[in-house]
Every structure is written in structure tokens, then in C-alpha cells.
Amino acid sequence: MNAKSFRNPLLVVLTFVVLGISPARAQAPLEPAQMSPRTIFYLIWRGAPAADARKANSLMALWDDPDFASVRSAMAANMLASSEQKPGQPKLTVEQVQEFASLLENSFTVGYLAEPAKREAAGAASATDSNAAGGTGAAKAKPPAWNGMFFVYDRTGKEAVLAKAILLMRAQAKEMPHISPVTIGDAQVLKIEEKNSTTYWAEHGKYAISASERSVMEDVLGRLDAKTTVAGPLTQLAAYQEAKPIVGSGVIEFFLRIPNLKEFAPDSKAGDLKVGQLLDAAKLDAIHSVCGHVTFEGAKTHVQAAILGDTAPGTPFDIWTNGVAAPASLALVPADAISYGSTQINFLGIYAVIKRIARAAFPTGQQGNADLLDTLAQARIGMPLPDAIGLFSGEIASMQTNPSLDSAKQVYFFGIRKKPETLKLIRTVFSDQLTSERNEGDVTYMKISLGGSQGNAGVAQWNFFNLAVMPDMILGASRVDSLREVVANRGKEAAGGGLASVPQFQAGRAQYPENLNGLGYFDFQKVDWQAMKDRWISEAKKSAAQKSADAAKKNMPATTPTPDWLLQANPQVFARHLHYSSSVSWKDAKGVHWEQWVE
């Protein structure tokens, strides 16, 4: 059994997590307090919950609903299908899918350990000695590429199913590996050697363990047996302590520690370029970790995540703004909107980061070459690139008001600061694609071609995109009537009759800081699920017919018809279990934070 053998089951796990199969609080095979301080990344899944907990939570109840079975089976089969399946090899049956999916009822931990310093030093010393001797064996003396991945699974009650899965995946392998027994510590381990990789596999007590390095397997076995004598656990590191309010609990959790990247390539070069200079310019060391967890609080699912570090100016955190109390687009969203999302991005901050890295990429005395892009941009758009970027406030938003979630009714918002200069920029950039422009009061409507030949018969409507440029906002939609609806209602919404006045929206917003750089809302109860299904089927049939016609012209097989799971799915299952979702994000001195509630 090798690491690649777990690729598809892990994808299944991640898919199920997103869809709400989640455990009550339980012990993981390897908790953070047991992990090595060399741990760079871990993801913990604590197993499936009891039946009463599943019924209480909206997402889990949706997953377990019999009317969701066709979708559930289709997703599981797709995830469990091997990408390396041999031609003519039978696909997994429904019974096999259900049996192997039951492995997810138990907990697991997957992680990655950094390369030991002693190993790095030994490899460097060997290469130095070989070079000093005038030999050509430096490359041979260097240790092979490090792979610190490990996987620990609690196989209690799943021994037979796990064995069956292993046999099946070995049968699907392209080549037979060389398997030999070895002893690591007190454990009997299988060493699986393939053409380009080596993996260690052990069934030790109630655990199944896989690792790509002998030393990693030894470390994990020692920690599981509580016999390790190495340095203190991961939880003592500063990066973990900083993330402690978010990690260390939850039904599922993950933690990615950002190491000192210069230690990986202090002298690495690309031509005359030192990688260390680029890392200094990027200031990636300001980011300490990425972490998050999922908890279930009755019917609600709560997701928390963060990018933590030093948010001082001049760091990658400049990508995000400090936020606003209320996005400008919110005043244009009606109370009956089904979904709304707004994000505040610091475009000038992104430009500054890119410019700083570009300057570092050139040798001393040639940093002025980094200004070449600015020169080309000014020649093309007629204004300095920072001025053009500065025309946009940084807000990007969208809303949907159609119960069937018709994409033609989706409206996008782009915040701007100076309308005349913005119009000039649009005319310059889309000069050959701008097909019409007209003013109606303080709104300028523009139609832009996204493809095809204007003026020729048969050009489809989706080849065009419509803009409504207002004094502080650009609206965009595939249909101009969707824009006119927003423009016509803007006074009413701004007067207090919009989404911001909805009690459910207000209650969610009140829990978080005053200034936010991200805000999301979705009212599942306003969706016409049957109409959405009918539209999806209709669009799928049209797409399949068109692709089949194109395939026939090329003597290729016809396109697969509409998937059975879509035809069989009962759309009302979503209405029974899904009610409301809200999300927010903000930046403070500790990092960028994101939270979402789903009920």
C-alpha cells in the first residue's frame, strides 16, 4: 500500500466534509499535542457522528435524506473511481461504493513533516566532500527528494473493509511494487518500493499508518506509542500558539505552518537571480500560518478560518483592505435578493507587492526595468498604471434575485471613484469590442462584445456583456434589463428598504467587527428548486446536443446525455434542509479572518 493508494479515499473525505458528514467531538488518531514540532501541515477528521447528531444538523440531514441518494452515490462513485483504472476494468458497483465510503465513519490524521536538519546537513557535507575530492559523485551523494507525508487511520471495526480496499487498489496499480518486511522500533512494517517512490505501511494495534520516509514512520509510531524522546510537541511552537483560538478543537481542523522559506533555498539561483532576494521582496515571512476548523452547533454548521501573521504595511496582507462598515453595493440590493456577496480588495496593494518583487528580480542597477510594464500600460491606456488601478475602489460584489438562479439575472458590482476617467479607461481598453454607449441621467449604458462578429446574423446574446456605469459603481450583467431593474430601485433600496433592513441579515451582521472586507448572504428558502432543476436539465440537453453535433462533424463519439443523478434527484430535498447561510471576513493586527454559518 502506498501514499497514492489513499488519494481517492481522501478526496471522498474532503467532499463529504464540505457536504456536512461531520463528527461529534472525538479523539483523533494523532492530536496536535502528540505531533512533532517539525509538522508543517496536518488535517484531522474525527469520524462520523451518532444518528441523533446527524439528524439535528441541517447539512448532515440533507446528506442522509433518501431523496439525496442519487446525488450522494454519484459523488461517491466519482471520487472513488481510479484515475489509473485499466481499460476494460469493471467500475465500482453501488454496493462497493457504499462499503468503501463506510471507511469514513472512522477518524484519521494526515500531515507533513519537514526534513530533519541533520539530514540536510549530512547531504550538504557529502556533496562538499565529493567536490573537494574532485570527484563527479556529488549528485549521487545528495539524498533523494524529501517527502514528509504521513497518514494515520483508526481502523477499529473496519479491518475487513480496509483490507478489501487495499487489495482492490493494488489490483488497479499500473505495476506490481516490490514489498519487503522491515522492523521499525517495535513495529513490523511493509516497505513498498515502486519505480519512483518508496512507502512504508503498518497495521499497528488499532491504527493503519502510511509514510513516505522511514524516519517519519519511526516518528509517528513512537508518538502513537508515547515512546518518542524527541523535542516537544507542535503545540509549543509560536505559530501554533498564535493559531490556538482557532485550532485544537472542532469536528475537522487543519493547520499549515509557513516555514522560513529562505531556509529551503538560501543560495538558490535562477540565472543571475537569487531566490532569497525575491523572498525578501515578497515578505512571505509575514505570514505565519493558515488554519481553520468546522464545528456543528445543533442545526447550524460553523466554519472558521484565518491567515495569521504580521499585517503591517508592506507585507502580503496589503492584498486585503481594512474593510468598510457597509459596502457601497449593499444599498443597491433589494430585500428579496436570494444571494449577495461583496469583497474588498486592495488593488494598489497587490500592485505594490508585484512591483516590489519585479524590482528584486533584476540585478543591481537594472531595477528600472521593472517600470517597463508601467510604460507599456501608459502607452496603451493613456494614463499611469497606478492611476488606472486607483480608479477602482476595490469592491467586487454580486447578487442574484432569480428563484431559479438564472445566470442571466446575476448582477455584478465594481466600485469606482471617478466616473469620467473610468469611462475613458473602458473606452480605451474595449475600443474594438464596445458596440454601443448611451447616457440616461447619471447612468451610462455600454454593451461589450465578448466574442463573435458584431453585425453578422446569428450572433448569440451571450456573446455580449452589458455595463451600467454610475457615479460610484459599475454594474455588469449579461442582460441589460437586469441592470435597469437595479438602477430603477436604487433610490428605494438606499432609503432603507433593501437587504440591509432584513432582520435575518442584520442579526448575522451584528456578531462581527464594524469594518469588514467580505460579506456574504444566501437565503435557500427563496430558491425555486424545481425550476432550477428544470433549467439545468434543459441547459444540459442543449449543451449535449450541440457537442454531439460538433462531435459528429469530426466523426467522434456522441456526448454523454444528461446525468442520471440530475434526472433522479428530488429538488425538494434541498428545501427541507437548507435555510440560510451568512459569511464575513475582516482584517486586524493578527491576520485575515473568515467565518461562515450554514443552517
Pick the more confident residue, 25 or 104: 104
User: Tens digit of pLDDT for each residue in 475-530?
Assistant: 999 999 999 999 998 877 666 678 998 998 888 888 899 999 999 999 999 999 99
Is the confidence at residue 124, as pLDDT, over 50? no
Rounded CA-CA distance 69/527 in Å is: 21
| pLDDT confidence tier of residue 564, bands split at 50, 70 and 90 | confident
Percentage, residues of the chain above pLDDT 90: 45
Cβ atoms of 323 and 344 within 8 Å: the answer is yes
Cell 448611451 sits on residue: 438
Most confident of the following: 74-83, 101-110, 236-245? 236-245
Rounded CA-CA distance 380/431 in Å is: 11
Say which range, 20-24, 30-34, 557-561, has the weakest mean pLDDT: 20-24
Sequence-distant (≥ 6) Cβ neighbours of residue 522 within 8 angstroms: 338, 339, 340, 580, 581, 582
Q: Closest Cα to residue 261, out of 231, 290, 282? A: 282
Say which range, 122-131, 245-254, 473-482, has the weakest mean pLDDT: 122-131
Cell 484519521 sits on residue: 108
How far is residue 349 CA from its own chain's centroid? Answer: 22
Task: Decide: residue 161, CB within 10 A, 0-12 exposed, 13-18 middle, 19+ buried.
Answer: middle
Say which range, 235-239, 417-421, 556-560, has the weakest mean pLDDT: 556-560
Pick the more confident residue, 21 or 465: 465
Pick the more confident residue, 93 or 587: 587
* The three grid cell numbers given for residue 289, joined into one nine-digit string: 500560518
Q: Closest Cα to residue 374, out of 358, 360, 386? A: 386
pLDDT at residue 100, as a whole number: 81
Q: List the beta strands (DSSP E) in 117-206.
A: 149-154, 178-184, 187-193, 198-204
- What burial letters (b/e) apply to 504-532, b meaning 16+ CB within 10 Å? ebeebbeeeeeebbbbbbbbbeebbbeeb
Cβ atoms of 466 and 400 within 8 Å: the answer is no
**Average pLDDT rounded to a whole number, residues 241-261:** 88
Could you tell me the sign of the dihedral formed by the alpha carbons of 449, 451, 455, 457, in that order?
Answer: negative
